[in-house]
C-alpha cells in the first residue's frame, strides 16, 4: 500500500515534532511547513529525533499562494494545522498579527485544500480558551456555548466556525480539536508551565535567585502534548469528521504546578523564590479551564496517559538536564 502523506504546519513548535514522531512511526511521509528564516530553529524537532525524517517546505500560513503551491505539489492525504500565534498574552499586544495567522491563515488553508486537494482531511487546532469562563457545573464540553475572553480566543473562534462551515458547505473532511492546555519539555519558553520548570531548575542550580509570575491562582486542565497529538490523528482516522474536546478532566492551579515542580527538586518551601508582578496579569482573565474528554473517549477510544505529576516531573527533569549540559 502507498505511504500516506501528511502536511504539518507549525512543525517547529511544540506539537509539530510530537505529531511528526507519531506519523513517521506509523509509516507516513511527513512534510513540515516552515517560514523562510535565515536561521530556522530545529531544536524541537531535534529533541524528538525527527528533523531528518521530515521533508521541509517553505511557506507561510498568511500567504495563500504559498499554501496553494505546496498543497498542489504534495497532494496530502492529511493536513494538520498547528500553526498559530499561540500565546494568549501577546494577542492583546498584536491582535492584527494574531488575526492574520489564526483566522485568515485558516481560511486560506481551507481554500487551498478545497482547490488543490479536496479529498484531504484537515485537523484544525482549536482551543479550550473558546469557552472563556463559561461552563456547565464547572465542566466544559462540546455543548457549552463559547464566550472567548482574549483576542487569541476570538481569532480561534473564527477559525473554528470556518472549519465547521467548510465541512458543512462543501462536504470536506475538516475536524476541530478543542485542545485544552498541553505541555512537554519543548513547550515555548513564554508559557507559564515552562517558565516554572526552567525557573525552578535555574534556582536549584544557583543560576537564578527568583521566578517572577502573574496570578498563580488560575486553574487549568493540563495534559501531555504526546498524548494530544494521538487524539489529532485519531480524529482524522474516524469515518466521520467532527469536533472534540481534548482534555484530561482534571484541574490544577499554577500554585500546585509550582509546588510539584519545586518539590521535585527537593525545595518544599518555595514561597521566598516566587515574586508576583502585575505586568504578567491579563486585561481579562479566564479563571478555570476544565474540559471533559468523554466524547473523545467514547467515539475515538482516546484517553490521556500521563498524569499531572508525571508531566511536571518530566519538564523539570528535562530543564535540569539541559541547564546542566547533560
Ligand atoms: P507553538 O509551540 O506556539 O507553535 C506554533 C507554530 O506556528 C510555530 O512553529 C510557528 O512557527 C508557527 N507559525 C506561527 N505563525 C506562522 C505563520 N504565519 N506561518 C506558518 N507558521 C507559523 O504552538 P503549540 O503549543 O505547538 O500548539 C499547536 C497548536 O495548538 C496552535 O494552533 C495552538 O494555538 C493550539 N493550541 C495549543 C495549546 C497548548 O496548550 N499547547 C492549547 C490549545 C490550542 P515559527 O517556529 O516559525 O515561529
- Domain hosting residue 319, numbered range: 189-220+251-287+307-324
pLDDT tens per residue, range 201-215: 999 999 999 999 999
pLDDT value at 134 more than 80: yes
Instruction: Give, using CA atoms, the residue closest to atom 35 of ligand 1.
Output: 125
Q: CA 306 to CA 114: how far, in whole Å?
A: 37
pLDDT at 265: 98
Q: How many whole angstroms from its chain centre is CA 48?
A: 16
Domain assignment present for residue 296? The answer is no
pLDDT at 319: 98
Domain assignment present for residue 297? The answer is no
78 C-alpha vs ligand 1 centroid, how far in Å?
Answer: 18
Q: Are 277 and 241 in contact (CB under 8 A)?
A: no
Domain assignment present for residue 158? The answer is yes
Residue 137: strand, helix, or coil: coil
Ligand 1 atom with minimal separation from the 129 CA: 43
Instruction: Give, using CA atoms, the residue closest to atom 30 of ligand 1.
Output: 125
203 and 264: one domain?
Answer: yes
Q: How much is the mean pLDDT over the chain? A: 97
Q: Are 242 and 168 in contact (CB under 8 A)?
A: no
How is residue 241 annotated by DSSP? -
Ligand 1 atom with minimal separation from the 16 CA: 26
Domain assignment present for residue 299? The answer is no
Give the ranges where 26-104 is alpha helix by DSSP (H): 43-47, 64-74, 88-93, 95-99
Q: How many whole angstroms from its chain centre is CA 291?
A: 15
Q: Is the CB–ligand 1 distance for residue 62 below 6 Å?
A: yes
144 and 230: one domain?
Answer: yes
- pLDDT-derived band of residue 282, with 50, 70 and 90 as boundaries? confident
Overall average pLDDT of the 8-28 stretch: 98
Q: CA 245 to CA 291: how far, in whole Å?
A: 7
Strand residue runs (E) in the chain: 5-9, 29-34, 55-58, 78-81, 121-127, 173-179, 182-183, 211-213, 219-220, 223-224, 244-246, 252-253, 274-276
pLDDT value at 1 more than 80: no
- pLDDT-derived band of residue 100, with 50, 70 and 90 as boundaries? very high
* Residue 199, Cβ density class (10 Å: 0-12 exposed, 13-18 middle, ≥19 buried): buried
172 and 193: one domain?
Answer: no
10 and 78: one domain?
Answer: yes
122 and 48: one domain?
Answer: yes
How many folded domains does the chain comprise? Answer: 2
77 and 198: one domain?
Answer: no
Instruction: Give, using CA atoms, the residue closest to atom 44 of ligand 1.
Output: 127
Q: Are 295 and 141 in contact (CB under 8 A)?
A: yes
pLDDT value at 38 more than 90: no
CATH of the domain at 32: 3.40.50.720
Q: Is the CB–ligand 1 distance for residue 60 below 6 Å?
A: yes
Q: What is the pTM assigned to this prediction?
A: 0.98
79 and 158: one domain?
Answer: yes
85 and 210: one domain?
Answer: no
271 C-alpha vs ligand 1 centroid, how far in Å?
Answer: 32
213 and 228: one domain?
Answer: no
146 and 267: one domain?
Answer: no
pLDDT value at 285 more than 90: no
Ligand 1 atom with minimal separation from the 156 CA: 34
Domain assignment present for residue 295? The answer is no
102 C-alpha vs ligand 1 centroid, how far in Å?
Answer: 9
126 C-alpha vs ligand 1 centroid, how far in Å?
Answer: 11
Q: Are 245 and 290 in contact (CB under 8 A)?
A: no
Domain assignment present for residue 264? The answer is yes
pLDDT value at 10 more than 80: yes
264 C-alpha vs ligand 1 centroid, how far in Å?
Answer: 29
- Which residue's entry shows cell 516554572? 196
Amino acid at each position: 500500500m502507498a505511504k500516506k502523506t501528511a502536511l504539518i504546519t507549525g512543525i517547529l513548535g511544540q506539537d509539530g515534532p510530537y505529531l511528526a514522531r507519531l506519523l513517521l512511526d506509523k509509516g507516513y511521509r511527513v512534510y513540515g511547513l516552515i517560514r523562510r528564516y535565515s536561521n530556522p530553529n530545529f531544536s524541537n524537532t531535534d529533541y524528538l529525533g525527527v528533523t531528518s525524517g521530515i521533508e521541509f517546505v517553505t511557506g507561510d500560513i498568511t500567504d495563500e499562494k504559498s499554501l496553494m503551491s505546496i498543497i498542489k505539489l504534495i497532494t496530502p492525504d492529511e493536513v494538520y494545522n498547528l500553526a498559530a500565534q499561540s500565546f494568549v498574552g501577546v494577542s492583546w499586544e498584536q491582535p492584527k498579527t494574531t488575526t492574520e495567522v489564526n483566522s485568515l491563515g485558516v481560511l486560506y488553508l481551507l481554500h487551498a485544500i478545497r482547490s488543490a486537494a479536496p479529498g484531504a482531511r484537515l485537523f484544525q487546532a482549536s482551543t479550550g480558551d473558546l469557552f472563556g469562563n463559561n461552563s456547565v457545573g464547572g465542566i466544559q464540553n462540546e455543548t457549552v456555548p463559547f464566550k472567548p475572553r482574549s483576542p487569541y480566543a476570538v481569532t480561534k473562534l473564527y477559525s473554528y466556525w470556518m472549519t465547521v462551515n467548510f465541512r458543512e458547505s462543501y462536504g470536506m473532511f475538516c475536524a476541530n480539536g478543542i485542545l485544552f492546555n498541553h505541555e512537554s519539555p519543548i513547550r515555548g519558553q513564554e508559557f507559564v508551565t515552562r517558565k516554572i520548570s526552567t525557573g525552578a531548575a535555574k534556582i536549584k542550580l544557583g543560576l537564578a535567585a527568583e521566578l517572577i509570575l502573574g496570578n498563580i491562582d488560575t486553574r487549568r486542565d493540563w495534559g501531555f502534548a504526546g498524548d494530544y497529538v494521538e487524539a489529532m490523528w485519531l480524529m482524522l482516522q474516524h469515518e466521520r469528521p467532527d469536533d472534540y474536546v481534548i482534555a484530561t478532566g482534571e484541574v490544577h492551579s499554577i500554585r500546585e504546578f509550582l509546588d510539584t515542580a519545586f518539590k521535585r527538586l527537593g525545595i518544599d518551601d518555595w514561597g521566598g523564590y516566587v515574586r508576583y508582578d502585575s505586568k504578567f496579569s491579563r486585561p481579562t482573565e479566564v479563571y478555570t479551564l476544565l474540559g471533559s474528554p468523554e466524547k473523545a473517549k467514547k467515539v475515538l477510544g482516546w484517553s490521556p496517559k500521563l498524569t499531572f505529576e508525571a508531566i511536571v516531573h518530566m519538564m523539570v527533569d528535562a530543564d535540569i538536564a539541559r541547564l546542566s549540559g547533560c
